[in-house]
Amino acid sequence: MLGTWIFLALVAIVIIWAISAYNTLISLKGQTLNAWKQIDVQLKRRHDLIPNLVEAVKGAMEFERETLEAVIQARNQAVNIQAGAMPTGGVKQLAEAEATLTAALSRFNLVVERYPELKATTNVGQLQEELTSTENRVAFARQLYNDMATTYNIKQQQFPWSLIAGLARAEQVELWEITEEKEREVPKVDLSFKPKQ
Amino acid sequence: MTADANLFAQQKANRRRSAVLVTIFVLFFAWIGFGGDLAFYLYTLPVDDPDAPGRAEQAYRHVVPWFGIGATLLGLGMALIAWHRGPKQILWATGAWELINASKPEEKKLINVVEEMAIASGLPRPNIWIVPDKDPNAFATGTDEHHSHVAVTQGLLETLDRDELQGVVSHEMAHIQNHDVKLMTLLAALVGVMALISEGAWRVMRFGGYAGRRGGGGRSGGGGGRKGGAGALALIVLVVWLISVLIAPVVSRLLALAVSRKREFLADATGAQFTRNPGALASALRKIEDAAAPTRAIKRGTAHLCIADPLGRRVSHKQGFVADILATHPPMAVRVARLKRMAYQYERTGVLPEAL
């Protein structure tokens, strides 16, 4: 009799644990996807902003066409890749495309700095603040996503949770890793542009 | 990842420490509420002494802790009022206006920075307010994360650069994420209730003493006839309780201040986690400190919500016991030093340090 009760109690404990572990994984998955959506929103914002910015400076910067085209091209490529990217695949390619765009944009910003009258006469100053903010938003969304994704990845691998992971359809998600070389290109560009002035 | 794990561990420790303080606060409140009842309960215990005259007829026994129940209800009521009206009242008192559509570049910048921090913290975007005051300062208020407000002074917008502004806003958002705005709103209400009870109790006692003298002290005579035991215990409890009631306003304020100081360090650390840029907040704190004229628009009651003591009290400079327990904020130099240390280690190792 007592044995039966103990057995039933154990079964109950296991079931309760399984339910709560399942819910934990599902909620982590939801949070990860939400963080990903946040990145998506901010990237879209970034991609929408760039044509406006280019349009605003085009007239004054006719002879900087290369820089402008590099930005536009990087932007279009990033838009294409973004359409197919999901946490479970394509994060790396998107991260690379966005890093290329970041590099192009910082080159662009340096060039804009050489035209002080642009900031004074047009809404370029305003657009640049928007751009700065957008860059930050992307960075912070990325940070939040990486934190969430790491927690999610580790949780579904850890021992008792890993038993439930299949049931909760938990999959490893890709982190948004900054491609070091691309981000480091920026200061080099800074140097190469200075002698031209 | 390790950076976050460390930070989370450190935040947990910080949280535990302020949880202890809050528990002490609640226990103290319970003692103020129910201690008097305990004294009266002991005082009106039936005595097993058949010779004592009139014992059998002693009708009243203080069993239901009316006083404690009353104090609890009062506390709940005040907390409820503070919950619904507090944040709006605070904002109203500072003369702040809500920033909805930016008309100037720096206003747009502020909106952008707040939205960035909302993304970094994963919180909904708080309402943004601007306090028309030349002194740089900022505070957060509200109840839960969906009803929260971040207010900065005009002076702050003019003094700080973008990164520093981000640091300050991250600190305020950290207050929201750590439930500090909720905690401080409720603690302020409890401090108010304590003051009220203390005041009320003294009035009753003065009046009671007067009536007692006039009435020839009939009841106290009965109590005096009691022998040892419960009577003495009742007296001790009563005296201790009366002293507690006397010092309640001071003690409760000091406890609230202690909680507030703990939360400042925590908010600095959490804010650094949002921006990954502790150095910017450190330099913002420096600039705020250098400009430390009193922020006139912000009154005493709101001081604990601000990023820096708005009263311009130089207490925040001095270190020492008295200065420490009277300040709403930890000494600025200590905060800056801790942030600098975080910044230095983050730069060297790419990992935010565990201990603050």
Q: Is the pLDDT confidence value at B206 over 80?
A: no
Nearest chain A Cα distance for residue B205, angstroms: 55
How far apart CA A111 and CA A124 sit, in angstroms, is 13
In a domain, B53, yes or no: no
Q: Which of B119, B161, B173 to mutate to test the interface with A (most CBs of A within 10 A)?
A: B119
Contacts of A143 in chain B (CB under 8 A): 120, 276
- At B165-198, the pLDDT tens digits run 999 999 999 988 888 888 887 777 778 788 887 7
One-letter-per-residue 3-state SS of B108-135: HHHHHHHHHHHHHHCCCCCEEEEECCCC
SS (H, E, C) B253-318: HHHHHHHHHHHHHHHHHHHHHHHCCHHHHHHHHHHHHHCCCCCCCCCHHHHHHECCCCCCCHHHCC
What are all long-range contacts of A158-166, with beta carbons under 8 Å and residues at least 24 apart?
A160/A17, A160/A21, A161/A21, A161/A24, A161/A25, A163/A21, A164/A18, A164/A21, A164/A22, A164/A25, A165/A25
pLDDT band at A10 (very low <50, low <70, confident <90, very high): very high
Quote the pTM value: 0.74
pLDDT tops 70 at residue A39: yes
Cβ of A133 and B120 within 8 Å? no
Taken in order of first residue, the domains within chain A and their CATH numbers are 2-196 (1.20.1440.20)
What ipTM score was computed for the predicted complex, to two decimals?
A: 0.71
Q: Cα distance from B5 to chain A (closest Cα, Å)?
A: 10
Which residues from B are below 8 Å from A150, CB to CB?
1, 4
* pLDDT at residue B165 in the model: 93
Which carries the bigger pLDDT value, residue B202 or residue B295?
B202
Q: Smallest CA–CA separation between B1 and chain A, in Å? A: 7
CB contact under 8 A, A147 and B4: yes
Q: Which residues of B335-352 are buried (b: 16+ CB within 10 A; e: fewer)?
A: bbebbbebbeebeeeeeb
Q: Which of B190, B84, B198, B94 is nearest to B140 (CA)?
A: B94
Confidence of residue B9 (pLDDT cuts 50, 70, 90): low
DSSP class of A64: G
Q: Are A143 and B122 in contact (CB < 8 Å)?
A: no
Tell me, yes or no, whether B58 lies in a domain. no
Work out the angle at residue B61's Cα, subtended by the Cα atoms of residues B56 and B63, and round it to the nearest 5 degrees: 145
Place of tokens 């909760």: A168
pLDDT of residue A179: 57
HSE of A186, CA atoms in CB hemisphere, 13 A: 15
B97 forms beta bridges with B130
Q: How far is A174 from chain B (nearest CA, A)?
A: 14
pLDDT for position A185:
46
Tell me if B120 is assigned to some domain.
Answer: yes
Residue of B nearest to A38 (CA): B119
**Contacts of A46-50 spanning 24+ positions with Cβ under 8 A:** A46/A101, A46/A131, A46/A134, A46/A135, A46/A137, A46/A138, A47/A75, A47/A78, A47/A79, A47/A82, A49/A127, A49/A130, A49/A131, A49/A134, A50/A75, A50/A105
| pLDDT for B226 | 47
With a pLDDT cut of 90, the percent of chain A lying above it is 7
The Cα–Cα gap between A197 and A182 comes to: 25
Burial B136-173 (b: 16+ CB within 10 A, else e): bbbbbbbbebebbbbbbbbbbbebbebbbbbbbbbbbb
pLDDT of residue B7: 53
Partners of residue B109 in chain A, C-beta under 8 Å: 129, 133
pLDDT of B86 > 70? The answer is yes
Residue of A nearest to B275 (CA): A140
Q: Residues of A with CB below 8 A from B170's CB?
A: none
User: Does a structural domain hold residue B52?
Assistant: no
Share of chain B above pLDDT 90, in %: 8
Range of the domain at B107: 2-47+63-349
* Cα atoms found within 13 Å of the Cα of residue A131, Cβ hemisphere only: 20
pLDDT at A144 over 70: yes
Mean pLDDT of A31-51: 88
- pLDDT for position B190: 79
Lowest mean pLDDT among A73-77, A124-128, A177-181, B72-76: A177-181
Q: Which of B172, B199, B264, B354 is catalytic?
A: B172
Give domain status of residue B135, yes or no: yes
Kindly tell me if the per-residue pLDDT of B295 is higher than 80: no
Is residue B172 part of the annotated active site? The answer reads yes
B294 contacts: CB under 8 Å, gap ≥ 6: B135, B310, B311, B312
Strand partners, B149: B127, B141
- Taking only the tens place, the pLDDT of each residue in B29-76 is 888 888 878 877 777 776 655 555 555 455 667 777 787 888 888 888
Rounded to the nearest 10 degrees, the angle between the axes of helix B332-349 and helix B278-290 is: 160
Least confident residue range of B52-61, B228-237, B329-338 = B52-61
Residue A156: CA atoms inside 13 Å, Cβ hemisphere, count? 22
If you compute the radius of gyration of chain B from its CA atoms, what whole number of angstroms results? 25
Q: Which of A183-192, B230-239, B267-276 has the lowest mean pLDDT?
A: A183-192
Q: CB distance A42–B119 less than 8 Å?
A: yes
* Structure-block tokens of residue B129: 């307010």
Q: Please, are residues B307 and B159 in contact by the beta-carbon 8 Å criterion? A: no
Please give the pLDDT value at position B219.
43
Domain total of chain B: 1
User: Chain B partners of A129 at a C-beta cutoff of 8 Å?
Assistant: 105, 108-109, 112
